Amino acid sequence: MLLFRIPRIIWEDILLSSKFIGIYLGILIIGLIYNGKFISHRLDPSIPDMFSTMFQGAQFLVILVPVYLLLLSLIFPASFNTLRLFRYGSRERFTAYIFVTIFIITGAFLFIYMLAGFIYGFSLTGTLKNSWTTEIGYPYMILDGQINLETFKISNLISTYVITEMLVFIIIGLIAAIIYAILKRYVFSFFIVQGLILLDFTMEQLFNTSLFVKYAQITLYTWSDIHFGFVIVYFLGIIIVLTTILYLVINKRDFTLQGDGYDDNH
């Protein structure tokens, strides 16, 4: 029953800030349009070429992650309200409610983003064919043929992007939730999470050491250098740890009406 009630609750929370939703989605679309110029010069471009720009570099770090965090800012203040805790009756159920909320928001966010990328990619290339499985496709040309083109079958592309990025953004959402539960101001969650991701990216660039961004971004070289089975297991392990930490934080918080401290000013 919990799972069926949460979408309606989230929808009610979103309606209260619907004007911001349009702004945030507009930022995503602008980012997609900007990325379109990077595939125009490629030989025989197709929709996978569009997707190859959507989860890496500046698009991932300074557009996708911040917009996702901004969307959470519309949900978390209401989600962590004291009355919500009383409504679900226990800290365990409340933690489950927060996790399912993050899962639903992440799924909706990525569905809209990927659908927009698919539509825009089709408008740019004018074709639904997948050139990445051919010898004139971008991967074969860039990697000098040193990769199995069967890797880029549509089924593999869809499953890799959907599963990997779902796990990535659930992790980001859980970290934001933990920080918000501790500090009670979403602005701290936003800047701390964004700062940690940029720090990890910097560490990767300078020292080739990364705990998250290296596996969260899907670049062309990711397909040849990283085993996605490992990435999935790694991210699932992080999610289990973060969910446990979230429960422990919620279990120790004082959610009394007088001491709540959460507000709607983020």
Tens digit of each residue's pLDDT (9 = 90 or more) over 175-219: 999 999 999 899 999 999 999 999 999 999 999 899 999 999 998
Helix axis angle for 91-125 and 65-73, nearest 10°, is 140
Number of domains in the chain: 1
pLDDT in tens, 25-37: 889 989 888 888 8
Lowest mean pLDDT among 33-47, 59-73, 146-160: 33-47
**Cα four-point dihedral sign 19, 23, 26, 28:** negative
Q: Is residue 263 part of a domain?
A: no
Mean pLDDT of the chain: 87
Integer Cα distance of 168 and 106 in angstroms: 9
Flag whether 103 is in a domain: yes
147 — pLDDT class (breaks 50, 70, 90): confident
pLDDT of residue 262: 55
- Residue 146 CB-density burial (10 A; 0-12 exposed, 13-18 middle, 19+ buried): exposed
Residue 101: inside a domain: yes
Reported as a pLDDT band with limits 50, 70 and 90, residue 11 is confident
* Three-state secondary-structure class, residue 75: coil
Lowest mean pLDDT among 13-27, 125-139, 189-203: 13-27
Q: Is residue 205 part of a domain?
A: yes
> Looking at the domain assignment, is residue 265 inside a domain?
no
Residue 259 included in any domain: no
Q: What's the burial of 212, exposed, middle or buried (CB within 10 Å: 0-12/13-18/19+)?
A: buried
Host domain of residue 34: 2-252
Say if CB 102 and CB 172 are below 8 A apart. no
Residue 132 lies in a domain: yes
Q: Specify if 189 maps to a domain.
A: yes
